[in-house]
Structures are given as C-alpha cells and as structure tokens.
C-alpha cells in the first residue's frame, strides 16, 4: 500500500477542523434521533439545523 505524506498546512487544517467539530450532548443526540424517527426531517437535516 502506498502512503502519501501530507504537507504541514494540511495537518494544521485537519487539526483545526477536529478541534472545532460540534460535540453533541447525550440529550441532544436522543432528541435528534427521536425527531428523526418521527420522519418529518432526515437525521442529516436535523443535525445541520443544530449547528
């Protein structure tokens, strides 16, 4: 398997994206799933609305 090396800039961008990722609490996750089970919106739409 061939490995590709990433530039320092790519590593910095990846680290920033990881650090700024949205973290959902357990309560938020449960609410999103229950809203999704209702079928009015997709899970992706519900998550986008929260962010």
Residues of the chain with pLDDT under 50: none
**Spatial distance between the Cα atoms of 43 and 33, rounded to a whole number of angstroms:** 7
Q: Do the beta carbons of residue 38 and residue 32 sit within 8 Å?
A: no
The tokens describing 38, both together, are: 């209702």
**What is residue 7's predicted lDDT score, i.e. its pLDDT?**
85
pTM: 0.47
């Amino acid at each position: 398997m061939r490995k590709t090396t990433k530039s320092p800039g790519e590593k910095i961008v990846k680290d920033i994206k990881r650090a700024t990722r949205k973290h959902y609490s357990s309560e938020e996750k449960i609410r999103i799933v229950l809203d999704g089970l209702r079928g009015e919106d997709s899970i992706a739409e519900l998550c986008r609305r929260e962010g």
